[in-house]
Structure formats: structure tokens, C-alpha cells
Amino acid sequence: TMKLAVAAVVLLATLAITIEATVHFKEQFLDGDAWKSRWVESKQKSDYGVWKLTAGKFFGDAEADKGVQTSQDARFYAVSSRFEPFSNEGKPLVVQFTVKHEQKIDCGGGYVKIFPADLDQTNMHGDSQYYIMFGPDICGYSTKKVHVIFNYKGKNHLIKKDIKCKDDELTHLYTLILNPDQTYEVKIDNEKVESGSMEEDWDMLPAKKIKDPEAKKPENWDDREKMDDPTDAKPEDWEKPETIPDPDATKPSDWDEDMDGEWEPAMIANPEYQGEWQPKQIDNPDFKGSWVHPEIDNPEYSADDTMYKFDSISVLGLDLWQVKSGTIFDNFLIADDVKEAEEFGEETWGKTKVAQLDNTDNKKDTDGANEEDENEDDEEEGDEEQGDDEGEEPTEEEEEEEEEAVKKDEL
């Protein structure tokens, strides 16, 4: 009877947890072009890049791996999807999605933004205020990081840690977990890559302690660890010139002093020169150590246990710039349960990753053969046209476009 009662309690607790878990947004693009009815393209610019539904050049499953792909080079992209507004107060917030840079991306964003309910989707742009920006960003060899930016009191705050993103051609799963205790975790491919607290890893709040403005180092504070030995004296024979006349030099036989002036031998380094004399160093008996500036409580600091809270989460958007298009976004999830996100990740990305890798290898073999054929054709036909160099670095202008786009996002 006792065992049955315990089992019933465990079952009820499990059911309660299951019932409480809420999925606020999920998008897998499994119904063809119907996705266009759920996503709104911004009209703020007239030349935004076009999105297309595809599983890409290689995939693990032709249908399950379909997502929205950037299709035009050197373009800004802006599209978003709305869901029922909610607050994450008192609950975890999990944001998760997959990114596939099958184009060997050189410079471009792969992140998402989470917006409040008052966003005008048709006017979404780089300056639109958001709650969270999360995901990979790549530009050249220097920028390969995961952005985690939170908006707090109208200002965007960047994470102080450097989180490396994946930069290969495969699909990767990115997960952000934000907890009510104001801790966070970032996962890539369902593996933790970073964690910590909002207060420590973002400059949202003023410092708890500041240097005491009234404190000054005492004038008699001796912070010299070593000092000159007062008993040490310079040897009498120390002073030697740095250079001396070359003793082996001889005046040329044709030297004419009337025409050439007085002959002087060339100067050479003095082998007996010892440099500038320095007294020996001894321990300073008055050494007090390095003076440490005293700190006091910062009067401007005030703890805030609601930094994690966003009151009206309602839109997920893709607002980014790409030099070389081809990135595929898929398997979006916004929920309040970490286990739900882990399972969804394994059911989607997890089920197709191995097959995708196999197909990637096959694709490379095929591409290599096709490339050889194309090169032979080019030589025979004398075709001078060149395709894109996949290893080419973005131009300075393209990098500036990307930097400008990201700076707008960070402001």
C-alpha cells in the first residue's frame, strides 16, 4: 500500500511537470509554402533578400531538414513570426533553433531576435527594439562568436564572455536557457558551452564596489620591493670608454695630410667596456607591499532580481546581413522546459545529423568530380569566367556592412 501511494505521488508530480511545461512557439516548416502565412517579411527596405524553403544541397532527410534559406548575396534579411504574448516571470525561458551555413559562410549573421508584442513586423529593421538576440555571427577569420544580448531598461547589453560558434557547413543546434534565478546556459548541439549569472557576465548593473574616492596612497608608503645597496661602490677601474681606436689600423701609404687632413684610426667597440655601472639590489627593509586602493559600497548599485524577466514576449525574428547567402534556419522552439527542448533537439537535429554528415561527404566527392569536369571544359573552351572563391575573405566594404548591422543590433 505504501509503495502504491509513493508511486501515485511520483506519477502525479510527473504529470504536473508535464502539464506545466509550455511550448510558446515551434516551427519546423513541414507544410510547404504554408509557412508564408505564419511569417511576415519586413517592408522597411525595398531590397531585402528573398527567403526560400529548402533542405539545401545536402541533408539527412529531404523533408525534415527543410527550413528557410537566404538566397541572395550581399543583402539584408528581415522576416518574423508572431505567437501569443507571454511573460517568463518565475519560469525558465528556452530559445532554440538550428543553423546550417552550407555555403561556407564568409561574413553574415545566423542569430535570432526575440521581440515584444508591440513590434510592427512589416517595419522590423536593425534599430527595432528587441528583448534578446542570440546565435552565431561570423565575419572573416576574426569574428566567429555566439551573441547573447539582453535588453535591460532600454539598453542592449552584450555578454562579456567570448563564446565560439561552429563555422563548418553542417547543421548545428543552438540553445539559450535563461532561469528565474538569473543564471543562464548556452548549448551547442545539446552540449553546454557556457554558463553563469546575468549579473556577473553582463554589465547591466553598476559595480557593487567602487574605489574609495577619499582614499589616497600615503606619501611615506614605500612600495619598492628592492633597493640599491648603500654599501656598494663603483670599482675605480670601471670607467672604460665604449669605443676605442682600432689598434690594428694603419695609415694608408697614399694618405696626404695636406689634402686629406690628419689621419685618425677607425673606432671599434672596446672589449673592456662594462656598460653603465649599477649598484647591487637588496631587499628593501621598508617595503610595505603594493598599495591597494580601498573599496566602498557603490551608492549607485541596487540589486535587481527581475533582470531576467521579459513581460510580453511575442515575436521571433530573423534580422541580419549576409555577404554570401545560403544559410538555412529551422527547428525553432521557444518553451519553458529544458527537457522539452533537449528532446525536441534530438527528435529533429539529432535524428538527421549522421545522415547529413554522410551526404556531406558524398556531396564533396561529387562536387570534386564535377569541378574537375568543369575545369576541363573551361580549358577546352577557353572560358575565362571564374566562380566564387569559397575561401575568399569578405571585402572591406562587406565587413563594414556586417559590422554596421551588428552595431545597430547591439545599441
84 and 46 part of one domain = yes
321 and 174 part of one domain = yes
CA dist 207 to 104, 197, 199, 211, Å? Answer: 41, 14, 9, 10
Are 196 and 124 in contact by the 8 Å Cβ rule? The answer is no
- Residue 292 neighbours by CB under 8 Å, 6+ apart: none
195 and 264 part of one domain = no
Decide if 186 is inside a domain: yes
49 and 128 part of one domain = yes
Decide if 242 is inside a domain: yes
CATH assignment at residue 284: 2.10.250.10
The three three-digit cell numbers of residue 63, written as one number: 523533408
136 and 196 part of one domain = yes
* Whole-number Å distance between alpha carbons of 111 and 373: 37
177 and 140 part of one domain = yes
Position 384 scores a pLDDT of: 39
175 and 54 part of one domain = yes
Q: Count how many domains the chain has.
A: 2
* Whole-number Å distance between alpha carbons of 406 and 317: 15
Position 359 scores a pLDDT of: 81
Position 182 scores a pLDDT of: 98
The domain in which residue 285 lies consists of 216-250+260-292
CATH assignment at residue 132: 2.60.120.200
Please list the ranges in the chain whose pLDDT falls under 50: 16-18, 366, 368-391
* Whole-number Å distance between alpha carbons of 87 and 204: 20
CA dist 10 to 2, 142, 399, Å? Answer: 12, 51, 56
198 and 237 part of one domain = no
Decide if 403 is inside a domain: yes
Decide if 385 is inside a domain: no
* Whole-number Å distance between alpha carbons of 231 and 76: 74
Listed residue (35, 96, 116, 43) closest to 69, CA to CA:
35
230 and 340 part of one domain = no
pTM: predicted TM-score of the whole model, two decimal places: 0.74
Decide if 200 is inside a domain: yes
The sign one gets for the Cα dihedral 374, 376, 380, 383 is positive
105 and 234 part of one domain = no
342 and 275 part of one domain = no
Position 237 scores a pLDDT of: 87
35 and 69 part of one domain = yes
Decide if 24 is inside a domain: yes
Please report, in angstroms and rounded to a whole number, the separation of the first and last CA atoms in the chain.
62
* Whole-number Å distance between alpha carbons of 308 and 90: 9
* Whole-number Å distance between alpha carbons of 331 and 100: 11
Position 236 scores a pLDDT of: 86
| Helix 349-381 × helix 338-347 angle, to 10° | 40
Decide if 199 is inside a domain: yes
* Whole-number Å distance between alpha carbons of 42 and 36: 13
* Whole-number Å distance between alpha carbons of 222 and 224: 6
The b/e string for 158-193 (b: 16+ C-beta within 10 A; e otherwise) is bbeeeeebbeebbbbbbbbbbbeebbbbbbbbeeeb
Decide if 11 is inside a domain: no
Residue 199 Cα to chain centre, angstroms: 19
